[in-house]
Chains A and B, each alone.
Chain A
Amino acid sequence: MAETLTIPRGRIDFPGIGFAIVLSAVIIFPLIVVGTWAFTEVWRYPNVVPQQFGLRFWNQTLSRADVWSALTLSLQLSTVVTLLSAAICLPAAYAFARMTFPGRNVLFFSFLAGHAFPKFGLLVAIAAIFLQLNLIGTFWGVVLIQLVGTLLFMIWIPVAAFQSVDRRMEEAARDVGASPLRVFWSITLPQAGPTIAAAVLLSFVGTFYETEGAWLIGAPGIRTMPVLMITFINNQMVIQYGAVLSVLLWVPSFIALLFARRIIGGGAFARGFGG
């Protein structure tokens, strides 16, 4: 069926070529420019190609104390938030997938509430609460606000993972005398594991790049990597600093996200957003 609707072989796919060229120019080209700036030492307008390539600015960027403290802080924050999120969300996901209890559906959909409001407005409302609790400008204030941002993904994706585990295998294991814990460890977890790992990875990377909560709640005491990059961009000190940080941070996160997306699948992504 599909063949009759698609473009027959041999005919040139002009719309496809058009989309490919335009999208490459709009989406890939800017990132190549950033990549080029990271390895540039001298690039004066109006030269099309930099006059001098080199790694001088990598040394300079990496010897800045504020870069290292922001990087350490961001890694600490992401680790704490991800661990806390896993600790409270994974048992909850298991319960949503396997148990019945009063209010189950309402509670399951309550995690959507955070996504039904414009995000920054919600952050300001939370900040007003934190102001009374003296959590503004503190590490734990930022942890809390970023933790809320991970809940939906860390519950909905693992719920799907637990539900897709083959129940017959679990029952078979129970029949031959395995304890519930043993079944969970040897049957359930290996099957649900990769998807859960992808969700954990997603929340780690997402937290690392979370800018708005860190900016609103954390400033001025808590300067995470994205917050530092905003100041680099606004102050326009040395162009290369931003480029080096972009390349340095983006490549690992890109690989991680690609891995996560392969496991979770584009369809689930779209569904998660209501597609």
Chain B
Amino acid sequence: MSAAGGAVQAQPEPLDESETRRRPYGLLLVAAPVLLVGWLVIWPIVSAVIRTLWQPADDGGYEFTLETYVFFFSDRYSLDNLTVTLWTTGMCALFLLVICLPISLYLRFSVGRLPAYVQSLAIFPMFVPSIILAYAFIRVLGPNGMVDILLNAVGLPKIRTPYLTPWGPVIGLVWDNIPLTVLILLSGLGNVSNQAIEAARDVGARWLQVLWYIILPRIGNSILVALSFSVLGIFSSFTLPYVLGPAAPEMMGPFMQRTFRDVNDPQMAITQAVITFGFCIVFGLFYVRSVARNRGK
């Protein structure tokens, strides 16, 4: 998108005849990373689907079965984990939109030092590893944390700490995802021309109308991209829910990890993984399509 100043272009410039190579040396040069993607991205996914659907049968062969999926969807605990994951993802998406859209709108239509400061703050969490964020969260919002200290100092009661409740991961994940959401929305807002807005203002449209009729339709795609990206990251996030969330019900990330390592049931763990793929497939496809279309321009 034009607002993004990056020089990244997927398409090659038209090649000079002198530069055209008839023999595919290029294939040799790209072979190693491509094979790595094939072996460690494509194959594990295909293999996970196959291994969970065709399982060893009594007669020594393999048979088609939905056994592990039936177990997942009839197991109360698994379903609770799935529900809390969906709830967390939904809440995060909602909060991200409510927080980041006003920030991006403000940044798009302001110039000067204050907006520059606001922008650098909004981008800042990108530079904070999530493990440090988790630690800071506990020191600030945890029991007897900084917020409790300050509330106590002015004579107010303590907060009910979100640490180890489902709200813990929500707060942490929203914090973590603000930068990219703001950047993607800002990039989309770059496509909204000033003339369109001025024209609308000239005929007497109020700001709310401008927002609804002029701005939102033009950045709809960016909003969807930002949400898809966050959903993909949040749905199977591990570190923040593991450190900040409750022990039960847990989000799919910690659940899969525990099933794989502690319960030592890889078959069930990859079933859970395939189920997360299923829930995210729409967002994943949409995200890839948008990126590919952008790069292809």
Contacts and interface: CB of A to CB of B under 8 A. Distances in A.
Interface in B13-31: 13, 15, 19-21, 24-27, 29-30
Contacts of B68: none
B243 to A, nearest CB: 6
B111 A6 contact: yes
Contacts of A114: 37, 41
A176 interface: no
B280 interface: yes
- Which of B137, B225, B291 has the most CB atoms of chain A within a 10 A radius of its CB? B291
Given A128-B270, A151-B33, A230-B239, A215 B132 contact: no
Interface of B: 1, 3-10, 12-13, 15, 19-21, 24-27, 29-30, 32-34, 36-38, 40-45, 47-48, 51, 102-103, 106, 109-112, 114-115, 117-118, 121-140, 144, 146, 148-150, 152-153, 175, 180, 183-188, 194-195, 197-198, 222, 225-226, 228-229, 232-233, 235-239, 242-243, 252-253, 256-257, 260-261, 266, 269-270, 272-274, 276-277, 280, 284-285, 287-288, 290-292, 294-295
B236 A164 contact: no
B184 A273 contact: yes
A164 B121 CA distance: 30
A145 B149 contact: no
Task: Specify the main secondary structure of chain A where it touches its partner.
Answer: helix
A209 interface: yes
A164 B9 CA distance: 9
A209 B140 contact: no
Interface string A116-141: 11111110111111010000000000
Contacts of A172: none
Nearest to A129: B44
Interface of A: 1-2, 4-7, 13, 15-17, 19-20, 23-24, 26-31, 33-34, 37, 45-48, 88-89, 91-92, 94-105, 107-122, 124-129, 131, 144-145, 147-148, 151, 155-157, 159-160, 163-164, 167, 209, 211-212, 215-216, 219, 226, 229-230, 233-234, 239, 242-243, 246, 249-250, 253-254, 257-258, 264-275
